[in-house]
Structure 1
Amino acid sequence: MSDNAQLLAEQRRALILDEVRRRGGVRVNELTRQLNVSDMTIRRDLDALARAGSVEKVHGGAVRIEAARTHEPGFEAKSSLELSAKEAIAREAARLVAPGAAIALSGGTTTYALARELTHVDRLTVVTNSVRVSDVFEQAQRAGGPAATVVLTGGVRTPSDALVGPVADRAIRSLRFDLLFLGTHGISPEAGLSTPNLAEAETDRAFIASARRTVLVADHTKWGTVGLSTFADLSEVGIWVTDSGLPAADAETARELIGEVLLA
């Protein structure tokens, strides 16, 4: 890197850090517009700031260190992030589902995208703790699509529109399914899968315990993000379906820990 390029990077990162300290957090798409650089440039800047311990990466951006592990965006806020990546992941993950399968979908915007892809598959039994996912299948059936048996767990609603807590956990632990399609707030080689919501972490553990195989569906921005509560080691994941934005070195690290990584 040239001296000029290094200076520009340092200037950008100083500006980003100032924004984080002033506002409490920043989003990648906002920074690309403000600084007139690419998405990947901003992500590299955030990676550098995170390695230096100056910020903590969260989905779609970064926040102050003290706020990071408990920051949970709502469903609407998350649904607009990495939209094309989520749709590509959903198409790839849907290929793993055969007609007549018993599957589970956790709450989240990527599993919501997957649900829309699965409305064309016959005779599915779907266990979910997401009202949004349940609505997708109900609306598809009203429009004349294939009938699916949907089991909605019940529970207490989170900001990301997942149903969690003891009611959800008991319902999930009483069932068994072939495949679990699981979203996550963060993915880390050290911390595994994590979420800012303690109750959601326990419900996700129940999902994993009841699944014959777990398929993680999460875009590349989740890599390196750590929430308050770890709910699974990466070794508990059978397949990670992500998008092509994941750097090659990170994909190789993930394969060593997970085994199979599919890039949509």
Structure 2
Amino acid sequence: MLAQQRQAIIAERVRRDGAVRVSELVVEFGVSDMTIRRDLEQLAERGLVAKVHGGATAVDIGATDEPGFAAKSVQQKAEKEAIARAAAGLVKPSTAIALSGGTTTWTLAHHLLSVPGLTVVTNSVPVADVFYRSGRADQTVILTGGIRTPSDALVGPFAVASLATINVDALFLGVHGFSARSGFTTPNIAESETDRAMVASARRLIVLADHSKWEMVGIRTIADLGQADVLVTDDGLPEAARGELRDQVGELIVADTQ
């Protein structure tokens, strides 16, 4: 088993049970004490667990906690890169797409700079900046108005109003968390309204979410799992979760991080 897969299982166990012991994980995975401690250190660095003597406990993340863009941009970088590469393959030249706020959609934006004739609607200041700096004359970027969130997204009635009459071929939606019970969620109520307006404007809903967001729940649901035409995630997602998602989303794409 790869370290990434083992860490994903450990993180899920901590979220479910509230805590894990090093001694129990050593027996379960058949690896050394040092290997498990290294796994827990890496998970703690990513903010997924809190290290304690002899093990780890769940991090107390509230349904309304919203990390800033800079903090999120350094988390799960390999996973986001793999997801972005896979998602970029779904974008055809001369189409109109929407990109929501978030660091995964920002990563995707870099992979779309070579797509000719693209029209991009976004409420993300960093995403708009990626296209602005590229300077391609054949790409059009429409940035909504609105109030800026900690994740550098523009939200609120101005953003919603600007999206009301726009129609795009596909929306690439970044989310705070996703679960079978709550669907795709956000910790920001105002952002949920803007994201819902984006969903309504798109013929296809393509959600980008790395494995660490599984079973993470924000205060407001953006869309149910069944509304996603495509969900792009990474190979750190446990097999049980993959099976559950395949039963609900239109198509599940698991990006290889290796």
TM bucket, shorter chain: 0.7 to 0.9
Partner of 2:9, secondary structure, is: helix
Amino acid corresponding to residue 141 of structure 2 in structure 1: V
State the Cα distance separating 1:174 from its structure 2 match.
1.4
Aligned twin of 1:235: 226
Taking the aligned partners of 1:241 and 1:146, their CA distance within structure 2 comes to: 29
Q: 1:43 to 1:242 in 2, by over 3 A?
A: closer
Q: Among residues 17, 27, 41, which one is paired with 1:52 in the alignment?
A: 17
**Partners of 1:43 and 1:118 in 2: CA distance:** 29
Kindly state the Cα deviation for residue 46 of structure 1 after the two structures are TM-superposed.
3.7
SS in 2 for 1:68: coil
Aligned counterparts of 1:241 and 1:178: Cα–Cα separation in 2:
17
CA contact (8 A) 1:74 1:159 kept: yes
Q: Note the alpha carbon deviations across 1:200-231, whole angstroms, 9 max, x for none.
A: 11111101011000000111111111011112
Supply the distance in 1 between the matched residues of 2:137 and 2:247 (Cα, whole angstroms): 38
How big is each residue's C-alpha offset from its partner over 1:74-108, in whole Å with a ceiling of 9 and x where there is no partner? 00000001111111111111111111000000000
Computed over aligned residues only, the root mean square deviation of the Cα atoms, in angstroms, reads 2.1
After superposition, where does 1:77-92 map in structure 2 within 5 Å?
Answer: 77-92=71-86
* Amino acid paired to 1:158: T
Map 1:178-217 onto structure 2 (within 5 A): 178-217=169-208
Letter in 1 for 2:174: G
Aligned equivalents of 2:19, 2:189: Cα separation in 1: 25
Letter in 2 for 1:48: R
Q: How many residues are matched?
A: 222
Q: Name the counterpart of 1:128.
A: 122
Tell me which residue corresponds to 1:260.
Answer: 251
Residue in structure 1 matched with residue 168 of structure 2 by the alignment? 177
Alignment partners' CA distance in 1, 2:18 and 2:180 = 17
CA distance in 2, matches of 1:146, 1:159: 30
For the pair 1:244 / 2:235, whether they are aligned, the reply is: yes
1:155 to partner: Cα distance: 0.4
Aligned to 1:152: 143
- The TM-score with structure 1 as length reference comes to 0.79
Secondary structure, counterpart of 1:71 in structure 2: coil
Q: Percent identity?
A: 51
Partners of 1:254 and 1:157 in 2: how far apart?
32
**TM-score (norm: length of structure 2):** 0.80
- 1:98 is matched with 92
Partner of 2:70: 76
Q: Structure 1, unaligned stretches of length 5 or more?
A: 1-37
Runs of at least 5 residues in structure 2 that lack an aligned partner in the other structure: 21-45, 50-57
Q: Secondary structure at the match of 1:257?
A: coil
Match for 1:167 among 144, 147, 158? 158
Q: Distance in 2 between matches of 1:240 and 1:53?
A: 27
Whether the 8 Å contact between 1:205 and 1:231 is mirrored in structure 2 is yes
Contact 1:54 1:64 in 2 (8 A): no
Instruction: Name the structure with the higher helix share.
Output: 1
